[in-house]
């Protein structure tokens, strides 16, 4: 048998072996974390801010599949360093039980999964799986204290920015805490309108785009960093539009009709902003590459004096 045939034979069992190992690990993992999974499912069901959690694990699985070509059975070499990550995951679970802090247990999913990949398949497997493992953080709710502080801050930012925008278009508006005083009525920027849910969902979406897009590292970083301002701007546009409707069509129409319907437009609007950003980056990169190509292709100036004899 030739060396090429031996290599082909070694590569043949890649898919069945790896898939079987993944199925076995997934079953053991689901059994060990059944309480945490039930806790997450409950919070996704009852808290609108985290309802996107239902879509995070399926996308992580799709991301694994899209990166499947990176896996080579011949390069899978288990590493004992995975035990350190497994120990970290176990310590987080113990801390969760000891300190009665529920979020530590689902958060331990990340080092545990990374430890399993490293222990079974080595660094090669971890390089394949790390984007999916990192993405799972979006399915874990924020700590209550941090979520409350972030929501309050977003409320103030949205209120101030909306007041400024309303004044710019000629509608008298002033801010009183998180309440916008208009000409003859008031518009409250409630906690549900702080934009926290939009921020979490769109940040998860932008991260997914950064993982999937075949772009330079600096472009992916820009996409990630832009998620926050795009989410805030989309929420401000919603509040400003509600304020305009309330000023000209009355409170009942603005709150009961327009406000609720405008909420469905926020995510599509944010995706349009993201699309425009990606197109701008394409134009920027193409322009830079064109300039570099022209500079590289320019011939040096030739001397104009008489040729030496």
DSSP letters spanning 156-184: HHHHHHHHHHHHHTT---EEETTEEE-SS
Mean model confidence pLDDT for the chain: 83
Write down the pLDDT at residue 285.
83
Write down the pLDDT at residue 195.
83
Least confident among 106-120, 132-146, 243-257: 243-257
Helices (H), 100-216: 104-107, 109-135, 144-168, 196-212
Among 78, 263, 240, 106, smallest CA distance to 173 is for 240
Above 70 in pLDDT, residue 272? yes
Write down the pLDDT at residue 5.
46
Write down the pLDDT at residue 223.
93
Write down the pLDDT at residue 6.
46
Write down the pLDDT at residue 3.
44
Strand pairing partners for 181?
174, 186
Residues 149-160: b if buried by 16+ CB within 10 A, e if exposed: ebbeebbebbbe
Edge-to-edge strands, sheet with 179-181:
174-176, 179-181, 186-188
Least confident among 10-19, 141-150, 270-279: 10-19
- Read off φ and ψ for residue 91, nearest 5 degrees: -65, -40
Above 50 in pLDDT, residue 12? no
Q: How far is CA 50 from the centre of its chain?
A: 13
Above 70 in pLDDT, residue 120? yes
Q: Please write the tens of the pLDDT for every residue from 129-165.
A: 999 999 999 999 998 888 888 988 999 999 999 999 9
Distance CA 64, CA 43 (A): 25
Q: Please write the tens of the pLDDT for every residue from 162-197.
A: 999 999 999 999 998 888 988 888 888 877 677 888
Helix axes 217-249, 144-168, angle to 10 degrees: 60
């Amino acid at each position: 048998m030739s060396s090429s045939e031996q290599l082909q034979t070694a590569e043949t069992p890649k898919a069945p072996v790896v898939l079987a190992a993944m199925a076995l690990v997934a079953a053991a993992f689901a059994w060990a974390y059944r309480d945490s999974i039930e806790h997450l499912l409950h919070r996704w069901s009852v808290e609108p801010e985290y309802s996107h959690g239902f879509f995070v694990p399926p996308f992580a699985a799709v991301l694994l599949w899209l990166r499947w070509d990176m896996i080579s059975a011949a390069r899978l070499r288990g590493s004992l360093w995975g035990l350190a990550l497994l120990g970290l995951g176990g310590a987080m679970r113990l801390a969760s039980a000891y300190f009665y802090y529920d979020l530590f247990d689902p958060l331990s999913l990340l080092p545990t999964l990374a430890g399993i990949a490293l222990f079974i398949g080595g660094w090669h497997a971890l390089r394949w799986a790390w984007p999916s493992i990192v993405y799972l953080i979006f399915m874990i709710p924020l700590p209550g204290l941090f979520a409350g502080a972030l929501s309050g801050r977003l409320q103030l930012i949205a209120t101030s920015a909306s007041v400024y925008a309303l004044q710019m278009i000629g509608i008298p508006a002033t801010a009183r805490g998180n309440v916008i005083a208009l000409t003859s009525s008031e518009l409250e920027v409630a906690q549900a309108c702080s934009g926290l849910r939009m921020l979490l969902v769109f940040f998860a979406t932008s991260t997914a785009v950064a993982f999937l897009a075949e772009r330079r590292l600096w472009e992916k970083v820009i996409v990630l960093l832009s998620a926050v301002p795009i989410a805030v701007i989309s929420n401000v546009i919603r509040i400003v539009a509600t304020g305009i409707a309330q000023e000209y069509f009355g409170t009942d129409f603005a709150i009961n009709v327009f406000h609720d319907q405008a909420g469905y437009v926020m995510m599509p609007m944010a995706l349009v902003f993201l699309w425009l950003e990606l197109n701008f980056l394409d134009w920027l990169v193409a322009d830079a590459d064109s300039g570099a190509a022209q500079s590289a292709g320019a011939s040096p100036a030739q001397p104009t004096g008489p040729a030496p004899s």
